[in-house]
A and B are shown apart, each in its own frame.
Chain A
Amino acid sequence: MKTLGFAAGIAASFTILSSSAAFAVTEISWWHAMTGANNEVVETLSKEFNESQSDYKVSPVFKGTYPETLNAGIAAFRAGQAPHIMQVFDVGTGVMMGAEGAVKPVAEVISMGGAEFDKSKYLPGIVAYYSKPDGTMLSFPYNSSSPILYYNKDLFEKAGLDADNPPKTWPEVFEAAKKIKSSGAGSCGLTSTWLTWIGLENFAAWNNLQYGTQENGLASTDVELTYNSEPFVRHFQNFADLAKDDTFRYGGRTSEAKQLFLSGECAIMTESSGGLGDVLKSGMNYGLGQLPYYDDLEGAPQNTIPGGASLWVFGGKSDEEYKAVAAFFNFLSQTDIQQRLHEVSGYLPVTLEAYEATKASGFYEKNPGREIPIQQMMGKEPTPNSKGVRLVNLPQVRDIQNEEFEKMLAGDQSAKEALDKSVERGNAAIQEAIGN
Chain B
Amino acid sequence: MSPRVVFPNKILPYLLLAPQLAITLVFFYWPASQALYQSVLREDAFGLKTTFVGLANFKKVLSQPSYIASVQTTVIFSVATAFIAIVLALLLAVMADKIIKGRGFYRTLMIWPYAVAPAIAGLLWLFMFNPTMGTFAYMLRAAGYPWDPLLNGPQAMSLVIAAAAWKQISYNFLFFVAGLQAIPKTLIEAAAIDGAGETKRFWTIIFPLLAPTTFFLLVINTTYAFFDTFGIIHAVTGGGPGKWTETLVYKVYNDGFVNLNFGDSAAQSVILMVIVIALTAFQFRYVEKKVHYG
> Do A and B associate with each other?
yes
Closest-CB distance, A291 to chain B (whole angstroms): 22
Q: In the complex, what residues of A have CB within 8 A of residue B254's CB? A: 399
Q: In the complex, what residues of A have CB within 8 A of residue B46's CB? A: 74, 77-78, 99, 101-102
B72 contacts partner chain A, Cβ-Cβ < 8 Å: no
1/0 per position for B86-118, CB-CB distance to A under 8 A?
A: 000000000000000000000000000000010
A21 contacts partner chain B, Cβ-Cβ < 8 Å: no
Closest residue on chain B to residue A102 by CB atoms: B46
B273 contacts partner chain A, Cβ-Cβ < 8 Å: no
B208 contacts partner chain A, Cβ-Cβ < 8 Å: no
Which of A200-208, A256-264, A364-372 is the contact stretch?
A: A256-264
Q: Does the CB pair A251–B132 fall under 8 Å?
A: yes
Q: In the complex, what residues of A have CB within 8 A of residue B117's CB? A: 2
Q: Does the CB pair A259–B133 fall under 8 Å?
A: yes
Q: In the complex, what residues of A have CB within 8 A of residue B243's CB? A: 403
Q: Does the CB pair A71–B257 fall under 8 Å?
A: yes
Tally chain B residues at the interface, Cβ within 8 Å: 25
Q: In the complex, what residues of A have CB within 8 A of residue B238's CB? A: 253
B242 partner, pick from A251, A406, A432, beta carbons under 8 A:
A406
A410 contacts partner chain B, Cβ-Cβ < 8 Å: yes
Q: A260-B132, A406-B241, A410-B241 are in contact. Are A250 and B45 (CB under 8 A)?
A: no
Q: Does the CB pair A98–B44 fall under 8 Å?
A: yes
Q: In the complex, what residues of B have CB within 8 A of residue A407's CB? A: 241-242
Q: Does the CB pair A74–B48 fall under 8 Å?
A: no
Q: A257-B132, A393-B260, A395-B259 are in contact. Are A74 and B45 (CB under 8 A)?
A: yes
A128 contacts partner chain B, Cβ-Cβ < 8 Å: no
Chain A interface (Cβ < 8 Å from any Cβ of B): 1-2, 67, 71, 74, 77-78, 95, 98-102, 250-253, 256-257, 259-260, 263, 393, 395-396, 399, 402-404, 406-407, 409-410, 429, 432-433
Q: Does the CB pair B45–A98 fall under 8 Å?
A: yes
Q: Does the CB pair A403–B258 fall under 8 Å?
A: no
1/0 per position for B131-144, CB-CB distance to A under 8 A?
A: 01100000000000
A-B contact pairs, 30 of them (CB 8 A): A1-B119, A1-B231, A67-B258, A74-B260, A77-B46, A78-B46, A95-B260, A98-B45, A99-B44, A99-B46, A101-B46, A250-B150, A251-B132, A251-B150, A252-B150, A253-B240, A257-B132, A259-B132, A260-B132, A263-B132, A396-B258, A402-B240, A403-B242, A406-B241, A406-B242, A409-B151, A410-B151, A410-B152, A429-B259, A432-B261
Q: Does the CB pair B45–A406 fall under 8 Å?
A: no
A263 to B44, CA, bound (A): 43
Q: Does the CB pair A406–B240 fall under 8 Å?
A: yes
Q: In the complex, what residues of B have CB within 8 A of residue A99's CB? A: 44-46, 48
A256 to B258, CA, bound (A): 19
Q: In the complex, what residues of B have CB within 8 A of residue A263's CB? A: 132-133
Within 8 A of A (CB), among B40-67: 44-48
A250 to B260, CA, bound (A): 28
A76 to B210, CA, bound (A): 49
Q: Does the CB pair B259–A393 fall under 8 Å?
A: yes
Closest residue on chain A to residue B60 by CB atoms: A432
Closest residue on chain B to residue A266 by CB atoms: B132
Q: A393-B259, A393-B260 are in contact. Are A256 and B45 (CB under 8 A)?
A: no
Closest residue on chain A to residue B255 by CB atoms: A396
Q: A1-B119, A393-B259, A406-B151 are in contact. Are A95 and B45 (CB under 8 A)?
A: yes
B153 contacts partner chain A, Cβ-Cβ < 8 Å: yes
Q: In the complex, what residues of B have CB within 8 A of residue A78's CB? A: 46-47
Within 8 A of A (CB), among B13-65: 44-48
Q: In the complex, what residues of B have CB within 8 A of residue A259's CB? A: 132-133
Q: Does the CB pair A101–B258 fall under 8 Å?
A: no
Q: In the complex, what residues of A have CB within 8 A of residue B47's CB? A: 77-78
A257 to B254, CA, bound (A): 23
A393 to B45, CA, bound (A): 10
Q: In the complex, what residues of B have CB within 8 A of residue A74's CB? A: 45-46, 260
Q: In the complex, what residues of B have CB within 8 A of residue A1's CB? A: 119, 231
Closest-CB distance, A434 to chain B (whole angstroms): 10
A98 to B260, CA, bound (A): 12
Q: In the complex, what residues of A have CB within 8 A of residue B257's CB? A: 67, 71
A99 to B47, CA, bound (A): 9
A396 partner, pick from B44, B133, B153, B259, beta carbons under 8 A:
B259
A395 to B254, CA, bound (A): 10
Closest residue on chain B to residue A252 by CB atoms: B150
A332 to B278, CA, bound (A): 57
Q: A78-B47, A259-B133, A396-B259 are in contact. Are A403 and B152 (CB under 8 A)?
A: no
Closest-CB distance, A408 to chain B (whole angstroms): 9
Q: In the complex, what residues of B have CB within 8 A of residue A67's CB? A: 257-258
- List 5 other contacts, CB 8 Å, given A395-B258, A404-B242, A407-B242: A2-B117, A67-B257, A256-B132, A257-B132, A406-B151
Within 8 A of A (CB), among B183-226: none
Closest residue on chain B to residue A429 by CB atoms: B259
Q: In the complex, what residues of A have CB within 8 A of residue B241's CB? A: 403, 406-407, 410
Q: Does the CB pair B45–A410 fall under 8 Å?
A: no
Closest-CB distance, A81 to chain B (whole angstroms): 13
A99 to B49, CA, bound (A): 10
Closest residue on chain B to residue A413 by CB atoms: B242
A33 to B112, CA, bound (A): 34
Closest-CB distance, B158 to chain A (whole angstroms): 15
A250 to B241, CA, bound (A): 11
Closest residue on chain A to residue B43 by CB atoms: A78
Q: In the complex, what residues of A have CB within 8 A of residue B260's CB? A: 71, 74, 95, 393, 395-396
Closest residue on chain B to residue A402 by CB atoms: B240
Ranked nearest first, the 3 interchain pairs of A and B with the lowest CB-CB distance are: A406-B241, A396-B259, A410-B151
A319 to B48, CA, bound (A): 22
A402 to B150, CA, bound (A): 11
A260 to B148, CA, bound (A): 14
Q: In the complex, what residues of B have CB within 8 A of residue A253's CB? A: 238, 240
A259 to B126, CA, bound (A): 14
Q: In the complex, what residues of B have CB within 8 A of residue A409's CB? A: 151
Q: A407-B241, A410-B151 are in contact. Are A399 and B258 (CB under 8 A)?
A: yes
